[in-house]
């Protein structure tokens, strides 16, 4: 089912006391305001266990920023799907552009991460998005098509139909203050839905939740959410600020 989700990607920000305070404030706010959108937070792996406990029985979902492509073994510093699940985390971001850029993650490897998530009954938020030079060269649709189709090629339609979230995050919009225009984002979201339909069938395409990410803020969120194929947002910088983030959540009607 297509879901309305506003997700916070806290990246490598916030000490544990800061993260806990923000999480508990958000929890109180969500209880009072009962927003239409589901609210996700993605803290560093270190805090997952405790925040999952603190937010047990709340309507905030604590998710992971990343997962290993390997099931277990000698991979120092990595965290497996099974380990995430063992502390109560069922969803992980995969393929974020910062992982692609700084850790050289490629589409097939990202696909392996997705396989491990599904094998453990978990699910991905697959991040895709072109770089500025791709867009300037008119290659943005080709790049995103490759990212989506290769990462999903080995997944079953049943898994995808029930549990697929994609985040379209154009690299040139991340952390730059320069968000995609709503119609630019809508065009790419519709394109992503079409690719999924072509490869996995209309039912999967219809059920896929597609979030926009890249300089979403309290001022531009509602224009983004007005677009037909934009189901919600994956928010970086503005999610660290309680007022900004709750304004963005409220904008998802
Ligand atoms: P910003 O909202 O800071 O541009 O980051 C977006 C992002 O990368 C979310 O995953």
Active-site annotation holds for 158: no
Other Cβ atoms closer than 10 A to 53: 11
Which of 64, 235, 240, 244 has most ligand 1 atoms within 8 Å of CB, for mutation?
Answer: 235
Q: For the residues 92-119, what does the mean pLDDT come to?
A: 98
Q: Which two structure tokens, joined as six digits, stand for 82?
A: 């099974």
CATH superfamily for domain 5-251: Aldolase class I (3.20.20.70)
**Whether residue 9 has its Cβ less than 6 Å from ligand 1:** yes
> How confident is the model over 67-97, as pLDDT tens digits?
999 999 999 999 999 999 999 999 999 999 9
Q: Catalytic one among 140, 169, 189, 200?
A: 169
Over residues 120-147, the pLDDT tens digits come to 999 999 999 999 999 999 999 999 999 9
Q: 18-31 pLDDT, tens per residue?
A: 999 999 999 999 99
Distance (Å, whole) CA 214 – CA 129: 10
Q: How far does residue 236's CA lie from ligand 1's centre (Å)?
A: 3
- Per-position DSSP letters for 69-89, written without gaps between them: SSSSSS-TT---HHHHHHTT-
- Please state the domain extents for the chain: 5-251
What pLDDT digit, counting tens, does each position of 206-226 carry?
A: 999 999 999 999 999 999 999
Is the Cβ atom of 236 under 6 angstroms away from ligand 1?
A: yes
- Say if pTM beats, i.e. exceeds, 0.95: yes
Q: What span, in angstroms and rounded, lies between the C-alpha atoms of 4 and 45?
A: 24
Residue with tokens 């503005």: 238
């Amino acid at each position: 089912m297509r879901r309305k989700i506003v997700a916070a990607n806290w990246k490598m920000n916030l000490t544990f006391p800061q993260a806990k305070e923000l999480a508990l404030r958000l929890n109180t706010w969500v209880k009072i305001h009962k927003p239409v959108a589901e609210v996700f937070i993605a803290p560093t792996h270190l805090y997952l266990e405790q925040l999952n406990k603190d937010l047990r029985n709340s309507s905030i979902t604590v998710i992971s920023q990343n997962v290993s492509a390997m099931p277990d073994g000698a991979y120092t510093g990595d965290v497996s799907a099974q380990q995430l699940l063992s502390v109560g985390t069922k969803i992980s971001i995969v393929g974020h552009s910062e992982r692609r850029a700084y850790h050289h993650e490629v589409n097939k490897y990202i696909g392996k991460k997705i396989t491990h998530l599904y094998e453990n009954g978990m699910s991905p938020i697959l991040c895709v998005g072109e770089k500025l030079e791709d867009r300037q060269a008119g290659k943005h649709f080709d790049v995103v098509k490759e990212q989506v189709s290769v990462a999903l090629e080995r997944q079953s339609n049943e898994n995808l139909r029930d549990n697929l979230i994609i985040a379209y995050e154009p690299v040139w919009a991340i952390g730059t203050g320069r968000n995609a225009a709503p119609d630019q984002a809508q065009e790419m979201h519709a394109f992503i839905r079409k690719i999924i339909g072509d490869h996995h069938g209309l039912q999967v395409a219809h059920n896929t939740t597609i979030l926009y990410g890249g300089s979403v803020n309290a001022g531009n969120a509602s224009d983004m959410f007005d677009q037909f194929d934009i189901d919600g947002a994956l928010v970086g910088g503005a999610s660290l600020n309680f007022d900004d983030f709750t304004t963005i959540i409220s904008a998802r009607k």
